[in-house]
Amino acid sequence: MKTADVRQFSDEELQSELERLRRHLFDLRSQSVTEKLEDSSMLKKTRRDIARLLTVQRERELAASRPQGR
């Protein structure tokens, strides 16, 4: 998932995707503990996707709170 793609999401889509990825990360961690995880790089990729979503969400919060005069 690229940051440019994430920026096109609406706020609701952003939140639902964030929840979906967090559930997916939980499932991946469970698979890792039980040694059923086939691709361990998915943990890192999912964490980074979550970070991208949170970054875009925070950018929007800061842009909304910034005065419009400047």
* Whether the Cβ atoms of residue 54 and residue 8 lie closer than 8 Å to each other: no
Q: What is the CATH number of the domain that holds 8?
A: 1.10.287.310
Whether 31 is covered by a domain: the verdict is yes
pLDDT in tens, 19-36: 999 999 999 999 999 999
Considering its fold, how many domains does the chain have in total?
A: 1
Whether 68 is covered by a domain: the verdict is no
For residues 21 and 24, what is the distance between their CA atoms, to the nearest angstrom?
A: 5
For residues 9 and 6, what is the distance between their CA atoms, to the nearest angstrom?
A: 5
pLDDT in tens, 33-54: 999 999 999 999 999 999 999 9
Domain range for 43: 3-61
Whether 69 is covered by a domain: the verdict is no
Whether 66 is covered by a domain: the verdict is no
